Amino acid sequence: MAVSPGSSAMSGKAIASSSIVAVSEIQTAPSGWLAYLHSRSRQTPQSASKAVVTNSSLPTVQWSDGMQLIYSDDSEITFYVNVTLFEPNSSATLDPLKLILDTGSAYMWVYGEACKSSACTTNPLYAGKSLTESTFELAYGSGTAKGNITTNTSVIINNEILSNFSVGVASEVPALFDGYLMSGVLGLPANSSNGANLHNVVTTLQTAGSISNNLFTISLGMGVSGTDSSADSVDGLFVIGEIVDELYSGEIHYAPVEENTYAYWMLTIDQVYVESYPVTFNASVTNGSSTTSRRVIVDSGTTVLVLPSQDASTLHSYFPNSITDGTNYAILCNTTLSIAFEIAGANWTLTPADYLGAAYPALSSHYGYCVSNIQGVDGVVATKSSGAGSTDGTISQAWLLGSVFLKKVFAVFDIEGQRLGLAQPVASIAIGNSVLPSVTAVNTGWSTVLGTPIPVTTEFLTHFVSSVSQTTVFHNSTVSSPTASSTSSSFISAGILCSCNVAKVFTRVCCILGLVVVVSLV
């Protein structure tokens, strides 16, 4: 979330009735566009609807380590993944935290127990105690998330375990997070060049040899069938370390990530089109010094598209009778116009079903209009964080392409290659095996032993957590398997099973023998 959407960017907003003007009073469309528009034949508007996953011929994906379901709230404003954090020698249950999947934030941070901000009072908090004197502070424009850093945290993410990982533990978070289902942010920057000495999760896993490639992919808004999840709304797939062919069709088009101080996934749109008509922007906006191309930041932590106000007015001027309050816009709901972004030699198209939000009610003076999911906010990109340089005017006027855009693409975030790939996404997939994958440790000294899952008591959990050494190796020991009556209910809720080959380690002895262990999430 490179933005300070306390004002706007978490979702499209209705215009303020007291200050409405016609966009044409601010910015007129080119005469050539008006002629083009009048010559167009009328088309049938596309209706917004979510794909229903019922087709037995859906592409089948075999679940594997590195995969994680993406969930959303009911309004599809926030998209999150479940991440588990714990400290060695801690007896706390391993309940996962909901972290916003955010390619616009520089690192991972979570709500800490010391946090008294409003957002922290309504969501689960991280109970880690081993905080260092080092601090972090991450700007979100209208506020900051700040606190201390812990370097003694183990993280379970995408079925992989990181030990002694540095995480920001917030004692204060900005008000823009109020009311959202989240306990922090999973920052996924283009590199680890932040000033807080907090590292990229994906890069750390690749360096440790846990994943093959220093990249991740996001398939947002994709239907997923065959999951065992019923409590939350599944809204896509997050994969680290590999590109799953079944998630897209055609060619992946790569655009280079432009170097910037803030590790944003910043690239260039070569041309914007309304229908097939090229849009010309005002040269006063210092965004690449061009009237056709625009620098953009691909930001999964933002919902809408956020443009400098001049660019937003220019783009909306191509929509007849659109109106604005200066920040938020409204477009006639019966529009049939498409918007296309030319990136890496291909066009990526938004239809009215994508860029139109809620319709104004029948009793409203704006009945017939829909909220635009394209907003105009100046200085929206946060350009200061701990250790970062001074504000960069060019970056501050970059566009933000949020989930409205990401739902239309299969996105490859290639950290090693410093490039971002886009392809046509599949609408839905079926999971061909159980979404109960194993969790393998980062350290290559760990290996998997197949066998019968045996429930583990709280005593084993304590041993499990306390056995993580500085090199992420379990020491030789034996643990007796419990009886049903001795199984801890609190540990069952943590959802961990220990698997071992009982035949090899004799009766009722389980799990930690000669640096061999496997843990499964359930």
pLDDT of 163 strictly over 80 = yes
| pLDDT tens-place string over residues 416-426 | 999 999 999 99
Query: According to the model, what pLDDT value does residue 285 have?
Result: 77
Segment among 1-15, 167-181, 265-279, 304-318 with least mean pLDDT: 1-15
| Contact criterion met (CB below 8 Å) for 482 and 457 | yes
Catalytic residue among 299, 311, 354, 414: 299
> Which residue segments constitute the domains of the chain, with CATH numbers given?
17-48+252-402 (2.40.70.10), 60-250 (2.40.70.10), 443-521 (no CATH)
Segment among 4-18, 94-108, 245-259 with least mean pLDDT: 4-18
pLDDT of 451 strictly over 80 = no
Per mean pLDDT, which of 142-156, 397-411, 442-456 is the most reliable? 397-411
The residue that leads in pLDDT, 45 or 114, is 114
The residue that leads in pLDDT, 500 or 174, is 174
Is 74 an active-site residue?
no
**Banded model confidence at residue 17, pLDDT cuts 50, 70, 90:** low
Which 3 state secondary structure label does DSSP give 425? strand
The pLDDT mean for the chain works out to 76
pLDDT of 407 strictly over 60 = yes
Residues 269-277 have a mean pLDDT of 96
Residues 479-493 have a mean pLDDT of 28
The residue that leads in pLDDT, 450 or 285, is 285
Segment among 214-228, 257-271, 471-485 with least mean pLDDT: 471-485
Alpha carbons 456 and 485: distance in angstroms, whole number? 12
Query: According to the model, what pLDDT value does residue 139 have?
Result: 80
| pLDDT tens-place string over residues 274-309 | 999 999 998 877 666 689 999 999 999 999 999 999
Residues 409-437 have a mean pLDDT of 89
Segment among 28-32, 191-195, 355-359 with least mean pLDDT: 191-195
Please state the φ and ψ torsions of residue 96, each to the nearest 5 degrees: -70, 150
Is 95 an active-site residue?
no
The residue that leads in pLDDT, 518 or 120, is 120
Query: According to the model, what pLDDT value does residue 246 have?
Result: 95
Catalytic residue among 65, 74, 95, 102: 102
Residues 205-218 have a mean pLDDT of 93
- Smallest CA-to-CA distance from 77 within 203, 155, 178 is with 178
pLDDT of 450 strictly over 80 = no
Query: According to the model, what pLDDT value does residue 160 have?
Result: 85
Burial label, 475 (beta-carbon count in 10 A; 0-12, 13-18, 19+)? exposed
Segment among 60-74, 207-221, 249-263, 448-462 with least mean pLDDT: 448-462
Segment among 69-73, 415-419, 459-463, 510-514 with least mean pLDDT: 510-514
Segment among 55-64, 85-94, 119-128, 211-220 with least mean pLDDT: 85-94
pLDDT of 461 strictly over 80 = no
The residue that leads in pLDDT, 290 or 466, is 290
| pLDDT tens-place string over residues 83-119 | 999 887 665 556 789 999 999 988 999 999 999 999 9
What is the number of other CB atoms lying within 10 angstroms of the CB of residue 474?
A: 21
Q: In what order do the strands lie in the sheet with 223-225?
A: 60-61, 428-431, 223-225
Residues 511-517 have a mean pLDDT of 26
pLDDT of 170 strictly over 90 = yes
Residues 354-369 have a mean pLDDT of 92
Segment among 208-217, 363-372, 395-404, 513-522 with least mean pLDDT: 513-522
| Contact criterion met (CB below 8 Å) for 349 and 339 | yes
The residue that leads in pLDDT, 386 or 280, is 280
The residue that leads in pLDDT, 511 or 362, is 362
Alpha carbons 434 and 226: distance in angstroms, whole number? 8
| Contact criterion met (CB below 8 Å) for 41 and 29 | no
Give the contacts of 34 (CB within 8 A, at least 6 positions apart). none
Residues 208-213 have a mean pLDDT of 91
Alpha carbons 353 and 219: distance in angstroms, whole number? 18
pLDDT of 4 strictly over 70 = no
The residue that leads in pLDDT, 92 or 350, is 350
